[in-house]
Structure 1
Amino acid sequence: MEKRPTRERILDAAHELWTTVGLARTTTKEIARGAGCSEAALYKYFAGKEELFVAVLSERLPELAPLLDRLSADPGKGTVEENLTEIARQAALFYAESFPIAASLYAETRLKARHDASMRRLDAGPHRPLEQLDAYLRAEQAAGRVDAGADTFAAASLLLGACAQRAFAYDAKAGKEPPRDVDTFASSIARTLMGGIAVRT
């Protein structure tokens, strides 16, 4: 059987280790060992752990950022409520997978500060989905499909905040199942949000 490309194996190993051990406690040496390559080979593909973290978020976790980019670039497709439902679904899945990875950073103040500085350099971080969703809602507002008086940033914050809170409050792996499945949750969040941002007639 053909061996997977080195970069793919590095992403897989990082994702697996960060999910089980945590970001803060995993070294690049351990990731390289898990990928079956040298640490030098890892650094050929990624400048450091932070760049690898961004790649894992964008390539191994549910596709929240690409979805938001697509919708912002081409508003007017589907209904706004349908789009918000899919955004909420992807966001709920994304936060459920990314929280366990990043949680260990909060235990080490110095490491978190270094990580945050790297995220700013890479123009990445938890603010990006919020800015992307706000951009999408503003595009729909300009197209006349969201009320002209709606606060798009507040609406984006409410939707993503609800999805992040769901991931924080419930952990299926630890036996704490959310009271609603992700599809029911997403459609309910979108429908509720539309009550505040729908075009007034």
Structure 2
Amino acid sequence: MDQKPARVRIVDAAYELMLGIGLARTTTKEIARAADCSEAALYKYFASKDEIFVTVLAERMPRLGPLLGDLEAGEGDLEENLTEVARQAALFYGQTFPVLASLYAEPRLKRRHDEAMREMGTGPHKPIQGLDAYLRAEQRAGRVRPEADTCAAASLLLGACAQRAFAYEAGGVQQPLDDFAASLARTLLGGLS
């Protein structure tokens, strides 16, 4: 039986550990052990645990970033586009919430993680910026009211998706994902167009 390449095993192991015990409690030593490689081998592929985390987000979580980058103003139905963003965002936050929740229990680790994210040019602000840019382009195309606050709209949509993940983890009653996404997009669009 062929064994997966080391990089793939490392990302797989990190994903499973981060989902199981959270980012704060996952160590590079545990990742290496679960990936059946040495810690030194892990550092051949990744500079830090934070870089592994960013890779896990990019390669194992729902594809929110690429979706936002692929949206073109004036293409497709605006409500359908926003519905798909809401759907992917809800999936993304639903999977990342359990991973990141442990960081908030350790403020020093959270600050270190935030610094690493800034150094890598990524972080939780990126989806808001991406959706804001798309909505501003739709504004220029005439499909969003000129006076609409696109940054606030992006924050509302993505914030609702993040809150859904938090409520779901807490055991709250949820609408089915597709109903939630469509309702959120429709409601947001009511204020934008």
Same-fold call, TM > 0.5?
yes
Tell me if 1:189 matches 2:184.
yes
Structure 2 residue ranges without an equivalent (≥5): none
What residue number does 2:89 align with?
A: 91
Counterpart amino acid of residue 132 in structure 1: G
Query: Is the CA contact 1:76–1:143 (under 8 Å) kept in the aligned structure 2?
Result: yes
Once the two structures are superposed, residues 116-140 of structure 1 have per-residue CA deviations (whole angstroms, 9 ceiling, x without a partner) of 1111101111111111110111111
What residue number does 1:131 align with?
A: 129
Structure 1 residue ranges without an equivalent (≥5): none
Q: How many residues align?
A: 193
Kindly report which structure 2 residues correspond to 1:23-172, keeping only aligned pairs within 5 A, or say none: 23-71=23-71, 74-171=72-169
Once the two structures are superposed, residues 81-138 of structure 1 have per-residue CA deviations (whole angstroms, 9 ceiling, x without a partner) of 1000000000001111101001111111111111111111011111111111101111
Tell me the TM-score normalized by structure 1.
0.93
4+ aligned runs moved over 6 Å, structure 1: none
- Indicate the SS of the match to 1:20: helix
| Cα distance between partner residues in 2 of 1:40 and 1:178 | 45
What residue number does 1:6 align with?
A: 6
Query: Is the CA contact 2:168–2:174 (under 8 Å) kept in the aligned structure 1?
Result: no
Query: Is the CA contact 1:9–1:35 (under 8 Å) kept in the aligned structure 2?
Result: yes
Counterpart amino acid of residue 76 in structure 1: G
Counterpart amino acid of residue 191 in structure 2: G
Query: Is the CA contact 1:166–1:178 (under 8 Å) kept in the aligned structure 2?
Result: no
Counterpart amino acid of residue 79 in structure 2: E
- Indicate the SS of the match to 2:76: coil
| Cα distance between partner residues in 1 of 2:98 and 2:27 | 17
Deviation of the 1:187 alpha carbon: 0.2
Tell me the TM-score normalized by structure 2.
0.96
User: % of aligned pairs identical?
Assistant: 66
| Cα distance between partner residues in 1 of 2:39 and 2:136 | 44
Compared with structure 1, are the counterparts of its residues 177 and 46 closer, same or farther at alpha carbon in structure 2 (3 Å cutoff)? Answer: same
| Cα distance between partner residues in 2 of 1:84 and 1:20 | 31
